[in-house]
Structure 1
Amino acid sequence: MSDCIFCKIVNHEIPSEVVYEDQDLIAFKDIAPLAPVHLLVIPKKHIKDLNEVAVEDEGLMGRLLSVVKKLAAEHGVAESGYRVITNIGSDGGQVVPHLHFHLLGGQKLGTKLG
């Protein structure tokens, strides 16, 4: 999708601090971090949100969560704990209409989500 900022990151058209990339996924540091570790993990395929994940994307979603786990370990938050969030739609707080998972950690996050 030509006007999607995350698709532009996938295509390396705009700079980002990439921490992981393979043929299907990319992960990069959030430009406005809410925790010492705040990464975004996204599929390279443009999928608007979780509601648009198709049956053929199930393997991709499993791999995405495996990458989240791997990145949590690599960034030193696997043992102390971390949070994984995806927002769906405007009422759910989604700002960029490209499926993405936030990986947050590196400090006590508490129980409040908003």
Structure 2
Amino acid sequence: MTDDFYCDEVLSGKTEVNKVMETENVLAYYHTKPFWPVHIVTIPKKHISSLITLEESDNELLIELFSVIKEVAAKVTDKYGACRVITNLGNYQDSKHLHWHIVSGEAIKK
């Protein structure tokens, strides 16, 4: 297995997920091991390793990705009163596939 959970497991269908929203190029789903009471992950279906590796040719995909993030974040905010939209880079990024977390509530203590 590589260090890309999203391509290797989610997009391949090996790991089933509870989808929140899906477009032709983007998938939003409930995190399989949540760190917050509400924890949704949004990913492009195309492999892009991180925010800082985006290229100009990814601009349309990025617009679609942020459109989904915006819609999901608005729904979470309407239901729970607030949310955070987070991405990680470098050593903070466990899976080397661009992804955004849409979360609400206090972090779950493990």
Could you say whether these structures have the same fold, taking a TM-score greater than 0.5 normalized by the shorter chain as the test?
yes
Q: Aligned in 2, Cα 1:13/1:108: closer, same or farther, shift over 3 Å? A: closer
How far 1:26 moved relative to its partner?
0.6
1:19 & 1:81 partners in 2: Cα distance?
17
SS in 1 for 2:33: coil
Aligned to 2:93: 94
Aligned to 2:60: 59
The residue type equivalent to 1:69 in the other structure is: K
SS in 1 for 2:90: coil
Any stretches of 5+ residues in structure 2 without a counterpart? none
What value does the CA root-mean-square deviation take over the aligned residues?
Answer: 2.0
Larger relative contact order (CA 8 Å, sep ≥ 6): 2
**Regions of 4+ moved over 3 Å:** none
Aligned residue-pair number:
104
1:39 & 1:85 partners in 2: Cα distance?
10
How far 1:35 moved relative to its partner?
2.0
The structure where helix makes up a greater share of residues is 2
The residue type equivalent to 1:11 in the other structure is: S
Aligned to 1:49: 50
1:10-63 deviation per Cα after TM superposition (whole angstroms, max 9, x unaligned) = 132321122111210011111222222110000000011112111011121122
Aligned to 1:6: 6
How far 1:78 moved relative to its partner?
4.2
TM-score by length of 1: 0.79
2:82 & 2:13 partners in 1: Cα distance?
31
Aligned to 1:112: none
Aligned to 2:103: 104
